[in-house]
Structure 1
Amino acid sequence: MRETINKACCLNCGMATTAKDGSTMAEEQQLRIENAKLKAEVEKLRTVIGKYPSGASTTGSCSAGNDQENRSSLDYHTGIFGLEKSRIMEIVNQAMEELQKMATAGEPLWVKSVETGREILNYDEYVKVFSVENASHVRPKRLIEASRVTGVVFLDLPWLVQSFMDANQWKEMFPCIISKAATIDVIYHGEAPNRNGAVQLMFAELQMLTPLVPTRDVYFVRYCKKLSVEEWAIVDVSIDKVEENIDTSLVKCRKRPSGCIIQDKSNGHCKVIWVEHLECQKSSVHTLYRTIVSSGLAFGARHWMATLQHQCERLVFFMATNVPTKDSTGVATLAGRKSILKLAQRMTWSFCHAIGASSYRTWNKVTSKTGEDIRVSSRKNLNDPGEPLGVILCAVSSIWLPVSPTILFDFLRDESRRTEWDIMSTGSPVQSVVNLAKGKDRGNAVTIQTMKSKENSMWVLQDSCTNTFESMVVFAPVDITGIQSVITGCDSSNTAILPSGFSILPDGLESRPLVITSRHEKSNDNEGGSLLTIAFQIQTNSSPTAKLTMESVESVTTIISCTLHNIRTSLECEDG
């Protein structure tokens, strides 16, 4: 079995290159692939919606470059889907006012939970304060999710604002939550260079890092406004007129006024108040994730804030020039450090992109010989130098474990315990030759681990990430010669890498509803464990025209089954 698995997992990673032209071409090629997919989605949306009214923009923005064109300024834009520009501005201004009140109000609008310490929206008070009509008669099958959280992020305010207004940057900032994002139409570009007053129609597909939770498609107008010298606000709101023109089967979620208030606190950090207020269709969710989704935690403000803080901290550590020696072992130069961190970031982004329920993927359910439910999906890589060419097979399984997320994360990221779960290590000792910190928490680090055996030596690049909401351990075998050149500072854009790894979430059983109302709500007083998603990817054939074989499927499902068994055994929860 091991011989079969080892054969299936040979990745033939590409070499790094120092040629700037090659790097640029690779990056442009990746952007073209992504932009082509997004443009196809936008065109499909336009086909469903119908023709734009006379004078409206007919070229959607699917990339950062297109956003710079002030092609649809408020001066001559006649509106979207029949809405006049004055009505659009009226809607977003009302949404901005509501966001500011939702962000700053205390009791009785927001009530602090005694059990969890989190704030809960008093929905009865909300209806009264904002004169909201009773939507239960209009949308009886919709659920309301509302949450608010405050935090500090270490990044400049202008950079934050730009990241929210650019669809590509926004998606890259939240790779574990956003699987697709596009600016469909720019209504007003805003004042240069800070985008004050910008208004744009956007689309996003929201995901969890598992195929078991359906994605949420949301269409909304985003409005960016400078409130004062040191304070900005970004509000999202779905517009009924847009939804009326879209096939109702496509509308899974709509945004009531949501967004964030960003306050510049100088010294390179900002205070952020995040409000998330969603109205979602009821949908079938796997029992494993039912609690964390129905409680509003999965797509709530806490998740967004934790991810934002993590990504901002990662960027600060990436840009740092005065890195202590203890935070950068095994790499002699700053260029080498940045090159390794950049490769690890691409690896983790690819992992997030590969394992969700996005419409990019088609998942088929298989049952392993040991009884685990496993989802498999295959794709063909024709010309992307960032991963091996040919047929790629991804297998994913999600389970519940009766251990805390912290214990599980520390176990999986610890190289001294890797042999306890990794069947590819063949019991050989594992050592870290590179260890780069990318956050204040010691769990946020990039390592290169060596596995030596009698037959050969294998190097593994590992990116471990943790925040107050979720954790990930992502890894991939790397070509030794190629990664050594990256360590010296060579560009990593053409380094082919195929990540596998783990996503860890709290199971949500300790949570409480994030909306209170006059209706009786049930609650669960049990403490929770962890939701673990494990994913393995293998290159089954170097030819893109090859057919997927059952032997390959059995190989990757065997890896999943053996790994899960080893994890349960090591953590003494075989019956989990």
Structure 2
Amino acid sequence: MDFGDDVMDGGSDAQRRKKRYHRHTPRQIQQLEAMFKECPHPDENQRMQLSRELGLEPRQIKFWFQNRRTQMKAQHERQDNCFLRAENDKIRCENIAMQEALRNVICPTCGGPPVADDHFDEQKLRMENARLKEELDRVSSLTSKYLGRPITQLPSAQALSMSSLDLSVGGLGGPSLDLDLLSGGSSGYPPFHLLPMAVSEMERPMMAEMATRAMDELIRMAQAGEHLWVKTGGREVLNVDTYDSIFAKPDGSFRGPDVHVEGSRETGLVFMSAIGLVDMFMDSSKWTELFPAIVSKARTVDVLVNGMGGRSESLLLMYEELHVMSPVVPTREFCFLRYCRQIEHGLWAIADISVDQQQRDARFGAPPSRSCRLPSGCLIADMADGSSKVTWVEHMEIEDRVPIHLLYRDLVLSGAAFGAHRWLAALQRACERCACLATAGIMPHRDIAAAGVTPEGKRSMMKLSQRMVNSFCASLSASQLHRWTTLSGPNDVGVRVMVHRSTDPGQPSGVVLSAATSIWLPVPCDRAFAFVRDEHTRSQWDVLSHGNPVQEVSRIPNGSHPGNCISLLRGLNASQNSMLILQESCTDASGSLVVYAPIDIPAANVVMSGEDPSAIPLLPSGFSILPDGRPGASSSRAGQAPSAGSLVTVAFQILVSSLPSAKLNAESVATVNSLISTTVEQIKAALNCASH
């Protein structure tokens, strides 16, 4: 059963083979489901009454109930099959355990292990092991001649952690690290068999009803008063007890002791029309581009209902990963329904609700997660000046399966890391940037540094810089596919490294080494942001500049804040005359980014002339700056203002080799470890917080 019925036309055989497909709305589905629960076999009078209420033909009502009864029967059979399959798996596991026990049985005659049937295979393994040792000695000898010194002098034994990076050919003293063991592939998405499956015909009515309930709850929460929302530190936080008393869960489930609730609401103006926002929210690619610092990946799994113009009454099944742009904070993965509805002229609502993925998780051997997104989303109202008033509601239940690193514990547990305030601030900044891109060739620039750039060149540079920022944000994800390896470092976090084979057209082709660390600085976020983005202070932390100053060649504003801009920087020493630095800095109330990448002068000329920048390879590095989230009562003395700190993630990406089949040399890992450690030390020294 879908969101409609197949209606047979009378006439010839050819006409009877043609079908008219009527797609019901989620509201119609909800009322039909409610009637089905009360009476699965309605009589003719009940069908006539339903047809009048829903605006459907009685024959459509009759076919709907017939299909629903058939699917209910199929659902029961499917449940029985799942039960039998589980029992079969249980018996198979017991069989494997019994076979293992038989292998370990003790001989009653001699008290030793029984004679194995595969002792010849063991002999083969010993011979293969001896052959590999001879090959290792030969490769080590050749490598020593090439390097001009014994391999044991490589600095990997002290720099690498034995527990997490024992990846060289012959242990840590070997010449190279195994690329496949250190990291996953270059694909940004999980393997297809781990992604949520498309919605079956039997699940569609249930999901339509779930989305309709979520929409109703979202609207009530967005319009609720102080009884549901409590002001805390200038933010609106959900009163969980009041929520539990108002909104009862349909399945009657309870909240476990290791599950905490994050609920928040924020309202603000956004410089984009409501229709423009709806179109971007209903497109998973544009959704990721809007929030690169929050959404590391997003994908539309299935389109359940394609509403009018892809907007009102549209219902999608989506998958996304949320991150905090630090290698020490695990991502949050959700599979959820996104339902869009136009409430009235100029007023839209978009509701999200997690779907139950426990069966999928159990299928692939993972313990089911109880983390979910409860009815969340936003109300979007058109304003007279072309902007929109957005009321954002974020509501999650998070299971504490992995301990949160001490640095980010306050930020995450307070709900600020994924709260409505951060979402709305990021949306306002992204829409400001979109407005600047749209008016790049219309509005005259008052910025002197951008006076020599053509309108086409401005748009081309903004597109290239946006791709650079998106690539940088995605590289800092701490998902299951982005597994970081810990080295020794300047703090308890250490330097985390990851390597992958780059085949994307927007990046240099070859083996790319990513390295990052996160630190706490006892300075406000705006001070840390101003220090790392200013070209006049760059020489104080940029190790690769060797203390030489840099000069700003061009600057393009992309927001109302003076720190929101795109710059082209040039080193003033002779060895850097052929290279420029493309840098974008952006900040809002929730955090800041400073991202940069080297770009040669010919490529910069291509961008400045307005040509398509998609083929220009960039390998970005940079900084992510977030508030530490610590309580305001942390001032050192009574009467003083609370001390504000910032969480800074420093990240570098280095092209190790242009050959995709190349191995990662341990010297490259030691070099990037030293590079990040020195950068952190110089930043702390320049900000007078070296002791922290």
Corresponding position of 1:75: none
- Name the TM-score, length of structure 1 as normaliser: 0.82
Corresponding position of 2:558: 438
2:596 to 475, 490, 495: 475
2:457 to 336, 345, 350: 336
Corresponding position of 1:243: 358
Corresponding position of 1:493: 614
- Per the TM alignment, residue 43 of structure 1 is displaced from its structure 2 partner at its CA by 3.4
2:516 to 388, 396, 409: 396
Q: Name the aligned partner's letter for residue 341 of structure 1.
A: M
- Per the TM alignment, residue 142 of structure 1 is displaced from its structure 2 partner at its CA by 1.2
After superposition, the Cα gap between the structure-2 partners of 1:136 and 1:560, relative to the gap in structure 1 and judged at 3 Å, is farther
1:79–1:88 Cα contact (<8 Å) kept: no
Q: In 2, Cα distance between the equivalents of 1:181 and 1:35?
A: 16
After superposition, the Cα gap between the structure-2 partners of 1:380 and 1:35, relative to the gap in structure 1 and judged at 3 Å, is closer
1:504–1:531 Cα contact (<8 Å) kept: yes
Q: Does 1:416 pair with 2:566?
A: no
Structure 2, unaligned stretches of length 5 or more? 1-184, 634-640
Q: Does 1:271 pair with 2:389?
A: yes
2:345 to 225, 229, 234: 229
Corresponding position of 1:204: 320
Corresponding position of 1:261: 379
Structure number with greater Rg is 2
Q: In 1, Cα distance between the equivalents of 2:552 and 2:252?
A: 57
Q: In 1, Cα distance between the equivalents of 2:490 and 2:538?
A: 24
Q: Name the aligned partner's letter for residue 314 of structure 1.
A: R
Q: In 1, Cα distance between the equivalents of 2:461 and 2:616?
A: 11
After superposition, the Cα gap between the structure-2 partners of 1:371 and 1:171, relative to the gap in structure 1 and judged at 3 Å, is closer
1:216–1:252 Cα contact (<8 Å) kept: no
After superposition, the Cα gap between the structure-2 partners of 1:273 and 1:41, relative to the gap in structure 1 and judged at 3 Å, is farther
1:296 to 408, 415, 439: 415
After superposition, the Cα gap between the structure-2 partners of 1:261 and 1:111, relative to the gap in structure 1 and judged at 3 Å, is same
1:380–1:390 Cα contact (<8 Å) kept: yes
Q: In 2, Cα distance between the equivalents of 1:332 and 1:214?
A: 41
2:569 to 420, 445, 449: 449
- Per the TM alignment, residue 408 of structure 1 is displaced from its structure 2 partner at its CA by 0.4
Taking the TM superposition and a 5 Å limit, the aligned residue runs for 1:84-483 are 84-85=204-205, 87-113=206-232, 116-132=233-249, 137=254, 139-191=256-308, 193-240=309-356, 242-247=357-362, 249=367, 251=369, 253-282=371-400, 283-320=402-439, 321-327=441-447, 329=450, 331-368=452-489, 373-382=494-503, 384-457=504-577, 458-483=579-604
Q: In 1, Cα distance between the equivalents of 2:368 and 2:603?
A: 44
SS at match of 2:594: strand
Q: Name the aligned partner's letter for residue 427 of structure 2.
A: L
Task: Report sequence identity in percent.
Answer: 41
Q: Name the aligned partner's letter for residue 511 of structure 2.
A: V
1:217–1:252 Cα contact (<8 Å) kept: no
- Per the TM alignment, residue 311 of structure 1 is displaced from its structure 2 partner at its CA by 0.6
Corresponding position of 2:689: 573
Corresponding position of 1:28: none
- Per the TM alignment, residue 37 of structure 1 is displaced from its structure 2 partner at its CA by 5.4
Query: How many residue pairs are counted as aligned between the two chains?
Result: 494
Q: Deviations over 1:220-247 (max 9, x none)?
A: 111100000010000011234x434433
After superposition, the Cα gap between the structure-2 partners of 1:183 and 1:365, relative to the gap in structure 1 and judged at 3 Å, is same
1:217–1:250 Cα contact (<8 Å) kept: no
1:370–1:561 Cα contact (<8 Å) kept: no
1:547 to 635, 643, 663: 663
1:372–1:561 Cα contact (<8 Å) kept: no
1:503 to 591, 604, 624: 624
- Per the TM alignment, residue 358 of structure 1 is displaced from its structure 2 partner at its CA by 2.4
Q: 363-372 or 290-299, which moves further after superposition?
A: 363-372
After superposition, the Cα gap between the structure-2 partners of 1:134 and 1:250, relative to the gap in structure 1 and judged at 3 Å, is closer
- Per the TM alignment, residue 263 of structure 1 is displaced from its structure 2 partner at its CA by 0.3
After superposition, the Cα gap between the structure-2 partners of 1:252 and 1:440, relative to the gap in structure 1 and judged at 3 Å, is farther
After superposition, the Cα gap between the structure-2 partners of 1:349 and 1:45, relative to the gap in structure 1 and judged at 3 Å, is closer
Q: In 1, Cα distance between the equivalents of 2:210 and 2:552?
A: 55
- Per the TM alignment, residue 100 of structure 1 is displaced from its structure 2 partner at its CA by 0.9
2:236–2:264 Cα contact (<8 Å) kept: yes
SS at match of 2:226: coil
Q: Name the aligned partner's letter for residue 305 of structure 2.
A: Y
After superposition, the Cα gap between the structure-2 partners of 1:370 and 1:528, relative to the gap in structure 1 and judged at 3 Å, is closer
Q: Deviations over 1:475-501 (max 9, x none)?
A: 111111211221121221111110000
1:121–1:146 Cα contact (<8 Å) kept: yes
Q: In 2, Cα distance between the equivalents of 1:204 and 1:175?
A: 12
SS at match of 1:415: coil
After superposition, the Cα gap between the structure-2 partners of 1:88 and 1:557, relative to the gap in structure 1 and judged at 3 Å, is same
Q: In 2, Cα distance between the equivalents of 1:294 and 1:527?
A: 19
Q: Name the aligned partner's letter for residue 447 of structure 1.
A: S
Q: Name the aligned partner's letter for residue 483 of structure 1.
A: A
- Per the TM alignment, residue 122 of structure 1 is displaced from its structure 2 partner at its CA by 1.4
2:632–2:642 Cα contact (<8 Å) kept: no
After superposition, the Cα gap between the structure-2 partners of 1:307 and 1:369, relative to the gap in structure 1 and judged at 3 Å, is closer
Q: In 2, Cα distance between the equivalents of 1:490 and 1:161?
A: 30
Q: Deviations over 1:374-398 (max 9, x none)?
A: 000001123x231111111010000
SS at match of 1:386: coil
1:436–1:446 Cα contact (<8 Å) kept: yes
2:258–2:399 Cα contact (<8 Å) kept: yes
Q: After TM superposition, what 4+ stretches of structure 1 lie above 4 angstroms from structure 2? A: 34-38, 132-138, 369-372
SS at match of 1:234: strand
SS at match of 1:210: coil
Q: In 2, Cα distance between the equivalents of 1:190 and 1:79?
A: 20
Q: In 1, Cα distance between the equivalents of 2:522 and 2:252?
A: 39
2:509–2:658 Cα contact (<8 Å) kept: yes
Q: Name the aligned partner's letter for residue 216 of structure 1.
A: R
After superposition, the Cα gap between the structure-2 partners of 1:551 and 1:257, relative to the gap in structure 1 and judged at 3 Å, is same
Q: In 1, Cα distance between the equivalents of 2:680 and 2:672?
A: 13
1:562 to 678, 683, 688: 678
After superposition, the Cα gap between the structure-2 partners of 1:250 and 1:353, relative to the gap in structure 1 and judged at 3 Å, is farther
Q: In 1, Cα distance between the equivalents of 2:278 and 2:622?
A: 32
Corresponding position of 1:70: none
Higher relative CO (Cα under 8 Å, sequence separation at least 6) belongs to 1
Q: In 2, Cα distance between the equivalents of 1:552 and 1:445?
A: 33
Q: In 2, Cα distance between the equivalents of 1:368 and 1:279?
A: 34
Taking the TM superposition and a 5 Å limit, the aligned residue runs for 1:5-20 are none
After superposition, the Cα gap between the structure-2 partners of 1:563 and 1:208, relative to the gap in structure 1 and judged at 3 Å, is same
Taking the TM superposition and a 5 Å limit, the aligned residue runs for 1:77-88 are 78-80=201-203, 84-85=204-205, 87-88=206-207
Q: Name the aligned partner's letter for residue 403 of structure 2.
A: S
1:331–1:488 Cα contact (<8 Å) kept: no
2:510–2:659 Cα contact (<8 Å) kept: yes
Q: In 2, Cα distance between the equivalents of 1:361 and 1:231?
A: 40
More helix as a share of residues: 2
SS at match of 2:268: strand
2:541–2:682 Cα contact (<8 Å) kept: yes
1:218–1:251 Cα contact (<8 Å) kept: no
- Per the TM alignment, residue 134 of structure 1 is displaced from its structure 2 partner at its CA by 11
Q: Name the aligned partner's letter for residue 306 of structure 1.
A: A
2:490–2:680 Cα contact (<8 Å) kept: no
